[in-house]
Amino acid sequence: MVVTMSKLPNHLAALCGLSLLATSSLRAADLPDPDGKPADMTKPVQVFIIMGQSNTLEMGKVTPNLGELYPFMTDADGKWTVRHDVRNVSVMQKGDSANIYRNDWLATNDKKIGIEIGIGHQLGNAVDAPVMVLKSSIGNRGLGWDLLPPGSARYTYEGQEVPGYKETFKDKNDKTIVPFVKDGACMQWYAGKQYDDDVANAKKVLADLNTYYPDAKSYEVAGFLWWQGDKDRYSAAHASQYEKNLVALIHALRKDFNAPTAKFVCATLGQTAKDAPVEGKGANDKMIFDAQLAVDGETGKHPEFKGNVATVYTHPLSKGGASNGHYNGNVETYTNVGLAMGEAMAKLIKSK
């Protein structure tokens, strides 16, 4: 749906979409430099929403050799390139309000970057229209609790009831609601509250479109990009429900943004390999990994997602560390994952 107010590059042997699993590295040198030109503003802005937890944030520590590794990030004078056809917007819930901490043309900086850089460059090349990469997320949030999609029902796991959407934990007498302390204030948290906040914050940005994409007249939510799962690793109950919750998330986001044909790209956790153990330590990680593979439109278990959902296998792209340590802040991990997610999204859009 367009709300009023494709040239796919062939430069990567990327690990995007399970049908494209490979062992070769990203050939980032083949990605063209941005031409510096603005987008055609007669077309609706194509909005791509990034959601998840802390690894969607700017956790990659920029190194002096970054432009050598990814030449499209720097110009002939060694300065960071700027895309004037891609807006980079980030919003995060802070207490009771939304905090806009990024509202720029897409460019690398001297400190930290995240997956949005690789995603934005890929989509800027692939989409013949204005592009907005809109991130609405915060750290330490689980799909089985904080980000639980609307409509998710209560269930029982090993004799214990687990709350459904908009429900909360109570004491053993089922009387006293346990409060949640955030930013020094005591407030009521519930299953799905972070989902509600992140969706509402993204909608606030889009409702004020011209502030975040100058001269824009309309927009279309074209896709969602999801990198999450670390918080759910620490709960067998949440890990066991991850596939069900992920399927519900895809449907809920499309409904809430009135974007039934929007594409969806999910990335696995970088430390989890295909041969991860199914029992003992790491079993929760494997459940989450298998759930993320299950929604892939080409090799997964859900025919409804064929041609509109892709999973990116990130283990070969990771340069070490794990999701709970933000991959040691390795900027190559965040850039590689972003490039692969962006290419996966571009491929889905082309298939449209």
Residue 10 has pLDDT above 90, yes or no: no
Sign, Cα dihedral of 186, 191, 195, 196: negative
Mean pLDDT of the chain: 89
Q: What confidence score (pLDDT) does residue 352 get? A: 52
Please check the confidence at residue 57 and state whether its pLDDT lies above 70. Answer: yes
pLDDT attached to residue 27: 57
- Residue 161 has, within 13 A of its CA and on its CB side, a CA count of 13
Per-residue pLDDT at 351: 73
CB 187 within 8 A of CB 270: no
Average pLDDT rounded to a whole number, residues 343-351: 93
Question: 297: how many CB neighbours lie within 10 A of its CB?
Answer: 22
Q: What's residue 172's pLDDT?
A: 53
Give per-residue pLDDT as tens, 280-311.
Answer: 888 999 999 999 999 999 999 999 999 999 99
Percent of the chain with pLDDT over 90: 78
Domain range 2-146+196-351, CATH architecture: 3-Layer(aba) Sandwich (3.40)
Secondary structure element (H or E) that encloses residue 86, with its range: strand 82-94
pLDDT attached to residue 166: 87
Q: Does residue 345 carry a pLDDT above 70?
A: yes
**pLDDT confidence of residue 341:** 97
What's the rounded Cα separation, in Å, for the pair 207 and 212? 10
* Residue 178 clears pLDDT 60, i.e. is over it: no
The pLDDT of residue 30: 80
d(CA 26, CA 31): 10
Mean pLDDT along residues 33-61: 97
Residues 204-229: pLDDT tens digits?
A: 999 999 999 999 999 999 999 999 99
Q: What mean pLDDT comes out for the span 168-184?
A: 52
Distance between CA atoms of residues 335 and 331, nearest Å: 6
pLDDT band per the 50, 70, 90 thresholds, residue 324: very high
Q: Greater confidence, 27 or 319?
A: 319
Give the mean pLDDT of 328-335.
98
Neighbours of 74 (CB within 10 A): 16
Q: Residue 167 has what pLDDT? A: 84
Q: How confident is the model over 190-202, as a mean pLDDT?
A: 96
* pLDDT of 100 over the 60 cut: yes
User: CA quadruple 310, 314, 315, 316: dihedral positive or negative?
Assistant: positive
Residue 11 has pLDDT above 70, yes or no: no
pLDDT at 280: 84
Cα distances (Å, whole numbers) of residue 276 to 288, 299, 318 = 11, 19, 15
Q: Which residues contact 128 (CB under 8 A, 6 or more apart)?
A: 6, 7, 40, 43
Question: How many percent of the chain have pLDDT more than 70?
Answer: 86
CA-to-CA distance for 79 and 75, rounded, in angstroms?
Answer: 6
Task: Read off the pLDDT band of 29 (50, 70, 90).
Answer: low
